[in-house]
């Protein structure tokens, strides 16, 4: 309990320190990328729970992220003015679920409240994850990877091919999301610094929830499933049920991340659903050490930040692919460990001795 | 004497092999029953049928008054049956303490939401789990190893951790699959004493074992299988003098087979 508290406080202090640093050095433009990084990290920690702790792979999490983001974007931008008179719309309006405003051209805009859109988006993702998770999680290893990859591709092709979702352009003009009075994610007039703290605050809440879960009865059961599924089953753990639940949970994290980032950016495009995004998230979990939530957060912070700053240029996706290969070859337990150098040495020693015997 | 487990005409076929052929027997509450037979006699299949790993083609398994054939292993475990494995199946990257804590799963209830929110009742539940696990580690003399990674221990110690994990389930029936495999003579004697002590705490034991010395020492009853069929089910002394059992084990009268 206390170490958990210390870790989280230390992390929060680092977040504050980074903000103060950008303030002093007059480089607060970095905060935009750092804010986006926080939302991507929210997806990464959920995926870390699924891959690292429960031992189930998913190459389709960008799909859940995109479903969440797209539904929220669509509902908050789709103009219902022309069907205002319909009883259903009138009813929704009466309950305060809709909001009136102006569109880009100054015309009347009637759309869903962001919080309504958010709830619908996240619930839809949970339902989708539940429906596909049931049959898909019966598969193991490569087969599970292939099936989730297939899901990711389907989502990508759907958002890319649907005119109502803006096809290749995606959806823009997504309004800000007022989560508390005076606290708005994205939108015009909301501060960079506030958005930065809101994003990292949400991530800290996510981390806290998952750290609690890891040290709980369920966390032990998930590790047990990862380690020896038959033995876990023999201890009375309903393994299929737990795998499905952790899959849905991680999809939920992806959906929340997708919704918030879409509102923050004011837009979402089909690239968010692309398979390379899913590969990137898996690469970050792998380099962070699979079973280390903090490792995943740390690597997500560094890699997403550099990626968003454009440091990898046009080789962005290639960089993450290479990272995944290198990690699997040299440090399958991730980089955030002390024995990395030893592993490298022993790897080269092994290849030397192989050559010697040839 | 009440019966805890009754198996009636249980059969399982794998392709052309009748692995278990209409086997019937019962286990008395509070006893140790051994299951023996030559390699390939169907002992492990019978174990897997009882614990729900595989479903029988026909037959009835009655455990504590409920028919449990066709149940999933976790459902059978919830009914009060715990097992160890022929090849030790501990949870890697988890300490001895954590491994045994997993055994408390069916006696605690904190789910995903309660776990994430760390609701106060989960704290007292965790405390109870730890208390019970420390009790079990004291019983098995594992307390000094509580924080050691379980899979890094010696073979004999790993056996004990696996046994501890099964005991943490507080089972009515404990299934042991060749617990003496890989142990030397003194370790086997210790294991025999330990199994008797477990029985004395009120846990019924069903054991598959190759070590005849151990089986004869501790068993109240012995069930002998050969080619999937029951050939004897009696007290140790009676089984020892049973001519069919002697034939199977010593291979006499080959024309009989």
The answer to the question of residue B85 being in a domain is: no
Tokens 């475990």 -> residue? B77
**Predicted confidence (pLDDT) at residue B255 exceeds the cutoff of 90:** no
What secondary structure does DSSP assign to B24-48, as a single string? EEEEETT-EEEEE-STTSSHHHHHH
Residues A161-178: tens digit of each pLDDT: 999 998 899 999 898 898
**Predicted confidence (pLDDT) at residue B257 exceeds the cutoff of 50:** no
Q: Which of B116, B145, B169 is the last residue of a domain?
A: B169
Cβ atoms < 10 Å from Cβ of B254: 7
B234 and B188 in a common domain: yes
- Sorting pLDDT into bands at 50, 70 and 90, what band is B206? very high
- How is residue B17 written in tokens? 């092999």
- Sorting pLDDT into bands at 50, 70 and 90, what band is A347? low
Q: Which of A209, A227, A237 sits opposite B105 (nearest CB)?
A: A237
Q: Which of B169, B189, B205 is the last residue of a domain?
A: B169
**Predicted confidence (pLDDT) at residue B243 exceeds the cutoff of 90:** no
Find the range with the poorest average confidence among A288-292, B70-74, B126-130.
Answer: A288-292
Q: Which of A224, A227, A233 sits opposite B73 (nearest CB)?
A: A233
- Sorting pLDDT into bands at 50, 70 and 90, what band is A358? very low
Per the prediction, chain A carries an average pLDDT of: 89
- Test B117 with A232 for CB contact under 8 angstroms: no
**Predicted confidence (pLDDT) at residue A340 exceeds the cutoff of 70:** no
B219 and B163 in a common domain: no
Q: What is the mean pLDDT of residues B14-31?
A: 93
Residues A188-203: tens digit of each pLDDT: 656 889 999 999 999 9
Q: Which of B116, B143, B169 is the last residue of a domain?
A: B169
**Predicted confidence (pLDDT) at residue A332 exceeds the cutoff of 50:** yes
**Predicted confidence (pLDDT) at residue A275 exceeds the cutoff of 80:** yes
B185 and B256 in a common domain: yes
**Predicted confidence (pLDDT) at residue A350 exceeds the cutoff of 80:** no
Domain range for A323: 2-357
In angstroms, rounded to a whole number, what is the distance separating the alpha carbons of residues B116 and A46? Answer: 12
In angstroms, rounded to a whole number, what is the distance separating the alpha carbons of residues A32 and A196? Answer: 7
B60 and B183 in a common domain: yes
Residues B119-154: tens digit of each pLDDT: 999 999 999 999 999 999 999 999 999 999 999 999
Give the sign of the dihedral formed by CA B246, CA B251, CA B252, CA B257: positive
**Predicted confidence (pLDDT) at residue A109 exceeds the cutoff of 50:** yes
A334 or A48, which is more confident?
Answer: A48
- Give how many domains chain A has, as a whole number: 1
Task: Name the β-bridge partners of B226.
Answer: B229
What pLDDT, on the 0 to 100 scale, is given for residue A343?
Answer: 61
B180 and B71 in a common domain: yes
B245 and B182 in a common domain: yes
- Sorting pLDDT into bands at 50, 70 and 90, what band is B19? very high
- Sorting pLDDT into bands at 50, 70 and 90, what band is B256? very low
- Test A212 with B118 for CB contact under 8 angstroms: yes
B76 and B175 in a common domain: yes
Q: What is the mean pLDDT of residues A261-285?
A: 94
Burial of residue B105 (CB within 10 Å: 0-12, 13-18, 19+) is buried
Task: Name the β-bridge partners of B23.
Answer: B10
In angstroms, rounded to a whole number, what is the distance separating the alpha carbons of residues B116 and B162? Answer: 28
**Predicted confidence (pLDDT) at residue B23 exceeds the cutoff of 90:** yes
The answer to the question of residue B35 being in a domain is: yes
B31 or A291, which is more confident?
Answer: B31
The model's pTM is 0.91
- Test A233 with B77 for CB contact under 8 angstroms: yes
Q: Which of A216, A235, A245 sits opposite B102 (nearest CB)?
A: A235
In angstroms, rounded to a whole number, what is the distance separating the alpha carbons of residues B180 and B209? Answer: 7
Burial of residue A75 (CB within 10 Å: 0-12, 13-18, 19+) is buried
Q: CATH no. for residue B232?
A: 3.40.50.300
Domain range for B141: 91-169
Name residues whose C-beta falls within 8 Å of residue A275's C-beta, 6 or more positions apart in sequence.
Answer: A59, A62, A149, A152, A153, A156
Q: What is the mean pLDDT of residues B216-245?
A: 91
Where residue B175 falls (left for φ over 0; alpha for ψ -120 to 50; beta otherwise) is beta
For residue A216, give the chain B residue with the closest CA.
B115
For residue B52, give the chain A residue with the closest CA.
A234
For residue A248, give the chain B residue with the closest CA.
B112
Residues B160-190: tens digit of each pLDDT: 999 999 999 999 999 999 999 888 899 999 9
Residues A52-67: tens digit of each pLDDT: 999 999 999 999 999 9
Q: Which of A209, A223, A238 sits opposite B91 (nearest CB)?
A: A223
- Give how many domains chain B has, as a whole number: 2
B190 and B153 in a common domain: no
Mutate which: A133, A231, A242, A248, vs B, most B CBs within 10 A: A231
Q: What is the mean pLDDT of residues A231-260?
A: 96
For residue A226, give the chain B residue with the closest CA.
B91
Residues B188-203: tens digit of each pLDDT: 999 999 999 999 999 9
A177 or A95, which is more confident?
Answer: A177
The answer to the question of residue B6 being in a domain is: yes
B64 and B35 in a common domain: yes
B254 and B175 in a common domain: yes
- Sorting pLDDT into bands at 50, 70 and 90, what band is A141? confident
Cβ(A62)–Cβ(A151) under 8 Å?
Answer: no
Q: What is the mean pLDDT of residues B33-53?
A: 92
What pLDDT, on the 0 to 100 scale, is given for residue A83?
Answer: 82
* Cβ-Cβ contacts under 8 Å, A234 against chain B: 51, 73-74, 77, 82-83, 85
- DSSP letter assigned to residue A334: -
- Test B73 with A230 for CB contact under 8 angstroms: yes
* Cβ-Cβ contacts under 8 Å, A210 against chain B: 116
């Amino acid at each position: 309990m206390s170490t958990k508290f210390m870790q989280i406080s230390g992390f929060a202090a680092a977040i504050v320190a980074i903000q103060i640093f950008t303030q002093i050095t007059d480089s607060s433009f970095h905060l935009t990328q750092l804010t986006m990084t926080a939302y991507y990290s929210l997806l990464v920690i959920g995926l870390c729970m699924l891959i690292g702790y429960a031992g189930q792979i998913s190459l389709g999490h960008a799909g859940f992220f995109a479903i969440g983001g797209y539904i929220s974007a669509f509902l908050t931008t789709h103009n219902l003015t022309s069907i205002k008179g319909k009883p259903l719309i009138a009813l929704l309006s009466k309950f305060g679920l809709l909001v009136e405003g102006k569109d880009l051209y100054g015309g009347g805009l009637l759309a869903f409240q962001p919080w309504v859109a958010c709830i619908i988006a996240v619930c839809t993702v949970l339902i989708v994850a539940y429906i596909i998770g049931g049959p898909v999680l019966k598969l193991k290893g490569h087969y599970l990877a292939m099936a989730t990859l297939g899901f990711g591709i389907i989502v990508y092709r759907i958002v890319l091919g649907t005119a109502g979702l803006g096809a290749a352009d995606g959806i823009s003009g997504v309004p800000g999301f007022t989560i508390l009075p005076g606290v708005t994610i994205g939108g015009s007039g909301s501060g960079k610094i506030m958005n930065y703290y809101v994003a990292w605050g949400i991530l800290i809440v996510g981390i806290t929830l998952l750290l609690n879960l890891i040290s709980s009865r369920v966390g032990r059961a998930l590790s047990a499933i990862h380690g020896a599924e038959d033995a876990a089953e023999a201890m009375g753990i309903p393994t299929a049920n737990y795998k499905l639940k952790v899959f849905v949970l991680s999809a939920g994290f992806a959906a929340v991340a997708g919704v918030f980032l879409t509102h923050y950016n004011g837009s979402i495009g089909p690239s968010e659903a692309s398979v390379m995004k899913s590969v990137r998230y898996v690469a970050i979990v792998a380099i962070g050490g699979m079973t280390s939530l903090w490792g995943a957060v740390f690597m997500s912070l560094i890699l997403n930040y550099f990626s968003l700053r454009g440091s990898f240029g046009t080789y962005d996706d290639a960089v993450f692919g290479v990272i995944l290969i290198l990690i699997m070859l040299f440090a399958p337990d991730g980089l955030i460990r002390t024995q990395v150098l030893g592993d490298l040495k022993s790897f080269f020693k092994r290849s030397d001795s192989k050559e010697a015997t040839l | 004497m009440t019966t805890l487990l009754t198996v009636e005409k249980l059969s399982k076929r794998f392709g052309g092999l009748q692995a278990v052929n209409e086997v019937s027997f019962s286990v008395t509450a509070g006893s140790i029953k051994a299951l023996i037979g030559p390699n390939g006699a169907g002992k492990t299949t019978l174990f897997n049928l009882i614990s729900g790993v595989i479903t029988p083609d026909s037959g009835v398994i009655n455990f504590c008054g409920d028919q449990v054939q066709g149940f999933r292993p976790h459902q059978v475990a919830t009914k009060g049956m715990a097992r160890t494995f022929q090849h030790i199946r501990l949870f890697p990257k988890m300490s001895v303490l954590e491994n045994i804590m997993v055994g408390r799963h069916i006696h605690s209830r904190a789910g995903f939401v309660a776990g994430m929110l760390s609701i106060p009742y989960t704290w007292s539940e965790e405390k109870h789990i730890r208390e019970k696990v420390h009790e079990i580690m004291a019983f098995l003399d594992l307390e000094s190893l509580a924080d050691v990674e379980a899979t890094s221990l010696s073979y004999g110690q790993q056996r004990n951790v696996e046994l501890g994990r099964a005991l943490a389930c507080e089972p009515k029936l404990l299934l042991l699959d060749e617990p003496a495999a890989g142990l030397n003579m003194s370790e086997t004697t210790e294991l025999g004493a330990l199994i008797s002590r477990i029985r004395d705490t009120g846990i019924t034991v069903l054991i598959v074992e190759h070590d005849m010395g151990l089986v004869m020492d501790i068993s109240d009853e012995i069930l002998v299988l050969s080619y999937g069929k029951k050939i004897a089910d009696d007290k140790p002394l009676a089984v020892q003098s049973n001519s069919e059992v002697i034939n199977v084990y010593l291979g006499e009268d080959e024309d009989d087979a």
